[in-house]
Structure 1
């Protein structure tokens, strides 16, 4: 989604301090299986874990080796053991922290978890209360989430789960959403169950996302959204894999050639229309909309908090008579290319490649090709339009109207307002954010910045976003422009649309229309407050049809060019 908030200045991994559960981990038939998982942080591959699971009448054992490489922490091996009723019994992790051995031994008895921690030559012991059905979830041991996957796969939304983050504490979480999904790979379709778990982490809300095989409960993917961490089973990480969230009977999945790689895309057509064959003649040509998603490693549906924003919008626009293209960002899903080295300029090149390919299709009216960009995608759409005459109209939705560095600071201040922190601590975090942004832009001034923060922020994409300035780009855009924004957008506030509108009105050529849609937030769904903290409660929400209606009415008035 278009969440520039992902570039926070918190440490990436030391973010959990526990959680609590309801029913025990039900022990099923005997099984013994292994799998490898890739660990990705903000699009960067930072390691992998090899996981072995043994489950029988005596209980459940989850073992792993490997893990995060770098940052001064290296996991050697870990083991989580549960009894036949799912009760936690023991946990052991062996790692190295700053070149010193770090061993955590946790045993559970009589409602207490006793942790013996050995770091180098120093040993200590700490004891905490623990629920009888708690799940072990230590930081940096992602295989532990398999125990959580078995637990939540049998639960319904609203259930509570206790998580013990050894050797720190236990915290409570709520299973706020459960949805069935499909994952398409080269070998076929996988039936999955997606779980959304809300955690009150020391007063700071946090969300975990967990996908598991519907039939077996085996973990497929595990995401810690606040840290930008994704742990994905290796067989589902290839470019031939994508999640199928929105599907129409006449949808066409295909690969579009780009600059040295292919872009995985879906074309949605009006009901009853299919792709024309090679021998078809006199094919009716349709107006076209190319959808461009927001920031992050998002696929063609742009799934945010369980809401397939671009997927739903594509269906609404197709129902209105348009041929709609949406695609996976480079390095994501079925698209090739490298996400870790991509910039806003690169993403604009991808838009141009898609438009160039569309102009050659039989059922495309190349005089009516519009590009619709959401959030960061709005900036990308403008950048593409400033370079390509083949784009005939532009729609920005919830797009930034100020410079990128200004928006990041504004979003951070908004996020800090919701935290119970002293004013001096809030100011310290703002100052650190400013230091990080300056270092990203100049390449200097990293002294005192945590290494994990630098790894997260020091990317070509973030630098390009911080340097984004819509003013000079807007002067080069002469296409008709619709600026659409939700009145309750707190992530990219409404004044961004007003700034964009002011810039657009000073163009020498090109009409400009601005529309404010009441009652919707940054995800384009009806909301009460529009705050980011509200997103987790909007599971299952639908993109407001008013968004598509405004786009359709405007596009029908734009003359063919």
Structure 2
């Protein structure tokens, strides 16, 4: 069951959908469900490229998870102008979504998982390092150097125009100097040390948008933490959005098995008493 939602974040209204696990006619809902929150990437939306997030959510709900997909301000059906804010605004919006999720009676607060794709992966890392409500992280093709990576996407000429005039049009989005300056202010690879939960990173070798080398770099930095595990999987010939059926099936299989295993381990530990 899909439930449309609107979440107030400052002056913005974030549009989203909360998806519940299906029930047979003779079943009753569980008291608590683990929750997956999906963070989309640069100028993306809650559906994902080629319905990536829609497909992921449909499969996750069938496995017994609540899923919350939402549009960042200025994207999809949310109000606002995406390029007028900064990376700090995306982090704040994600935390506002966490506020909403934490207030739902059906949510197991010990199993809130952020799934972030591309720039959404960096936002997920930066959010988790600031918010202890995030218990696990899944990063798909994550950005590691926000300014450099977005510069490579929009082009050097656009960056020069922003420096010269204060703004630039990219794919009908007006990107401001505040936006690009904020990208340079955040460093996910160093700030991730503030997060002590478990992490899965999945990247494709044919990703021409974000280098596959980042998954190795991220894992190395996560391993330097005092707490928390980090697993990674590299999918051969997969592109940035895992666009082929085989790539996507592989992505989902890796991700869902990992999430299930994390939940099982947490449940097993809860059976122990001191």
Match of 1:503? Answer: 221
Alignment of 1:24-423 (within 5 A): 250-272=1-23, 283-296=30-43, 298-302=44-48, 304=49, 307-401=50-144, 403-408=145-150
> Gaps spanning 5+ residues in structure 2: where?
none
TM-score (norm 1): 0.42
What SS does structure 2 have at the residue aligned with 1:308? helix
CA contact (8 A) 1:283 1:362 kept: no
For the aligned residue pairs, the C-alpha RMSD in angstroms reads 3.1
Deviation, 1:256, is 2.3
Deviation, 1:520, is 1.9
1:483 maps onto 2:201 in alignment: yes
Aligned counterparts of 2:167 and 2:93: Cα–Cα separation in 1:
34
Aligned counterparts of 2:189 and 2:74: Cα–Cα separation in 1:
29
Q: Could you say if the C-alpha distance between residues 543 and 459 of structure 1 is closer, same or farther in structure 2, counting changes exceeding 3 Å?
A: farther
* More helix, by proportion: 2
Aligned counterparts of 2:128 and 2:255: Cα–Cα separation in 1:
18
Aligned counterparts of 1:482 and 1:524: Cα–Cα separation in 2:
16
* More strand, by proportion: 1
Could you report, residue by residue, the CA deviation over 1:204-263 in whole angstroms, capped at 9, with x for unpaired residues?
A: xxxxxxxxxxxxxxxxxxxxxxxxxxxxxxxxxxxxxxxxxxxxxx21111123334332
Q: Could you say if the C-alpha distance between residues 257 and 477 of structure 1 is closer, same or farther in structure 2, counting changes exceeding 3 Å?
A: same
What SS does structure 1 have at the residue aligned with 2:122? helix
Aligned counterparts of 2:216 and 2:182: Cα–Cα separation in 1:
23
Deviation, 1:287, is 0.9
Deviation, 1:373, is 0.3
Deviation, 1:362, is 2.1
TM-score (norm 2): 0.83
Could you report, residue by residue, the CA deviation over 1:374-418 in whole angstroms, capped at 9, with x for unpaired residues?
A: 0000000011101111111111110122x2343356668xxxxxx
Aligned counterparts of 1:273 and 1:317: Cα–Cα separation in 2:
17
What SS does structure 2 have at the residue aligned with 1:311? helix
1:469 maps onto 2:215 in alignment: no
